[in-house]
Amino acid sequence: MKTNRRTRRAARELFRACVVEGELDQSRTRLAAQQIAASSRRGALGLLTEFRRLVRLERDRHTALIESAVPLAEDMRAGVADSLHRLYGPSLVTSFTENAALIGGIRIKVGSDVYDGSIHRRLERLAAAL
């Protein structure tokens, strides 16, 4: 569904109204989404879709997904989490997972930022260079 400029602007204003002291207020966000969904006004679906996209982007900006080929030791996890908190702020939520396809190394994704130090990625770059 394609949204028009007025809908995007209204969704941004609604999103800003849900931000309290620099952080997205979960109760305000839920209430706003419920009221939009219950509305029978024309364009409500487009507004809800755009609002949901903005909320998802904000949530992704404060969530770090850390993948490694093998489980990381606790001190390594703490070190990675501390480094990410210094870069992105203390409100960052970290999540550690294992992904054997990486072969070795670590891959970190925070919002649209991706830090890929995996062997799998290095092999891909090497294959592309040949």
Give pLDDT tens digits for 50-89: 999 999 999 999 999 999 999 999 999 999 999 999 999 9
Phi, psi of 98 (to 5 degrees): -105, 140
pLDDT at 47 over 70: yes
Angle of the 5-17 helix axis to the 44-61 helix axis, nearest 10: 50
Nearest to 13 by CA among 59, 50, 62, 63: 50
Largest CA distance in the chain: 58
pLDDT reading at 3 higher than 80: no
Q: Given pLDDT bands bounded at 50, 70 and 90, which one contains residue 40?
A: confident
Cross-strand pairs, 66: 96, 108
